[in-house]
Structure formats: C-alpha cells, structure tokens
Amino acid sequence: MSTHENATDDTTDFGFERVRTEEKAGRVREVFDSVASRYDLMNDLMSGGLHRLWKRFTIELSAVRPGQTVLDIAGGTGDLAAKFSKLVGKDGSVILADINSAMLSVGRDRLIDKGALNNISVVQADAQYLPFEDNSIDCITIAFGLRNVTDKAKALASMNRVLKPGGRLLVLEFSKPVSPLLSKIYDTYSFSALPAMGKIITNDSDSYRYLAESIRKHPDQQTLLEMVEDAGFVDCRYHNMTGGIVAVHRGIKG
C-alpha cells in the first residue's frame, strides 16, 4: 500500500526514483512536454479505448446541470471539458486547467477545432494552488492527473476550498487491481508493452516507463479515500472499474 507523502524530508516520488520535492514538477513537465502531441492516441492504444468509457462514467457521476461551473484539473487535451461544455450549456462555464503549457496548447487547439470554446476558459494552474475564489465551483474533475501532483493532500485541500458547499469532486485515476492474477498480467503489460509503445508512437520509452511507475506509487483505493476525507469531503466513496485497474473517487464538500 502506498502511503501519504513523507513530510519529514524534502524528497518525493518520481516514479520509482526519489527526487528533491522542488524538482518533481519540472520532471513531470518534461514528461508531458514530450508526449503532449500524441497523448490521446497513446491513451487509446494503452487502454484499448477503455479510457473513454471510464471518463463517460465519471461524467455521469458528476451530475452536472445546465448553468453550473465545472473545473477540469489536469484537463490536458480537453476531452472532458468538451463534454462538460455541452452539459452546462450557454449559461454555464467550464474551466480547463493544466500545469503543463504544452498539454493546454494541444487542448485549446482541439477545442477550437470542435467549436467548443464559447463557454470554456483555459487556465494554466497548479492543482496545489488553484487560482480561483473560495466556494466558486460546482464540480471539479481530475482525470489521470492526481498521481503526478507533488503534494496530493495540499491539492485536495485546494479543491475543497474552491468548491461550493454541496459541490462534487471526482478523481479518476489508475489504482490497484483487486485480483492477484490481474495484477500480475497488468504489471507485465505496464513494464513491457507501455514503454515499447511509447518508443514506437512518441519515440519516448522513458516517459511511459515513468507513467507505469507513477501508477504503482499512487495511493490505493482505500488510502486515497481516506485522503479525500482528510481534505474535508463528506459522503466519500469510490467505484472500481476494469477490475480495479482504474477507480473513480467521489467526495462532496460539506
């Protein structure tokens, strides 16, 4: 089981490496600078298209309604933002936020191509220090981004701060398979096939090796549930998908 970040020293996980805490954001930025242009293609290949179903389920859990404000953190290439744009309608708004400018650039271009920027704003932002007013957001989603955040507890607290009372947080993230056999198959796939695909598609096997490692260092389902509760959320629960390879955690701001 992964544990909360160790607060007694000034290092943190970067995949299976330990790096100085202040170095992690830069190292993660390099990974996503490298893969940004082929990110969606790689997601389709890595998951066999399943990531689209995982995201669809997350959107259903969000219960977003017309006129609301949605913040999609680590929203990268904008696929969730485009869906939320239709749900909130002309009287609502969607904020596509990502710490990585290369990912945001790809996302902005794709949203322009879809004609979906009329109610979407694009903001470069760090999840740990969200630049939004207290109690201003109806729903926050973060899909496959929390594991890359240096201080997850700080980010969850920041999300709680900007949500309106009764607002929803949805964290979609790779997690821990519930079956030992599935776990073994998944490990073999992650550490053999992923870097190989990364090499072929993006000419970058190291970044995909990091992504596989970062999944293993991410808190398991129960640990992350406790972290969401510790950040002040209530009625917290999680849903496993694809045998626990992925889980979506939901919390409500009390």
* Residue list for the binding site for S-adenosyl-L-methionine: 77, 98, 126-127
Alpha carbons 54 and 165: distance in angstroms, whole number:
26
Dihedral of the CA atoms 228, 16, 27, 109 (nearest 10)? -60
Q: Rounded mean pLDDT of 133-144?
A: 97
The reported pLDDT for the residue numbered 4 is: 46
Residue 120 banded pLDDT, cuts 50, 70, 90: very high
Q: In this structure, is residue 5 part of a structural domain?
A: no
pLDDT at residue 188, as a whole number = 92
Question: Is 248 a domain residue?
Answer: yes
Residues 4 and 219: beta-carbon distance below 8 Å: yes
Question: pLDDT tens digits for 96-118?
Answer: 999 999 889 988 998 988 877 78
The domain tally of the chain equals 1
15, part of any domain: yes
Known binding residues are 77, 98, 126-127
Q: Is residue 199 part of a domain?
A: no
The Cα-based distances of 27 to 3, 21, 191, 207 in angstroms read 21, 10, 20, 10
In a domain, 191, yes or no: no
| Residue 243 predicted with pLDDT over 90 | yes
Q: What is the mean pLDDT of residues 216-223?
A: 95
Helix (H), strand (E) at residue 159: helix 152-162
For the cut 80, the answer to whether the pLDDT of residue 46 exceeds it is: no
Q: How many whole angstroms separate alpha carbon 241 and alpha carbon 253?
A: 24
pLDDT band, residue 190 (cuts 50/70/90): confident
Range 30-57 average pLDDT: 81
Q: Which residues, in sequence order, are CB contacts of 248 under 8 Å at separation 6+?
A: 54, 57, 58, 61, 170, 171, 172, 173, 238, 239, 241
Q: Is 187 inside a domain boundary?
A: no
The span from the CA of 86 to the CA of 15, in Å, is: 36
Q: Following DSSP, what letter does each residue of 208-235 receive, concatenated?
A: HHHHHHHHHHS--HHHHHHHHHHTTEEE
Q: Quote the pLDDT of residue 24.
A: 87
CATH number, position 37 = 3.40.50.150
In a domain, 26, yes or no: yes
pTM beyond cutoff 0.85: yes
Is residue 162 situated within a structural domain? yes
Q: Is 132 helix (H, G, I), strand (E, B) or coil?
A: coil
Range of the domain at 163: 11-178+208-253
Whole-number Å distance between alpha carbons of 210 and 108: 26
In angstroms, the CA 139 to CA 167 distance is 5
Tokens for 143, please give them.
């899909």
| Mean pLDDT, range 178-190, rounded to an integer | 93
Lowest mean pLDDT among 10-14, 166-170, 235-239, 240-244: 10-14
Mean pLDDT on 171-176? 96
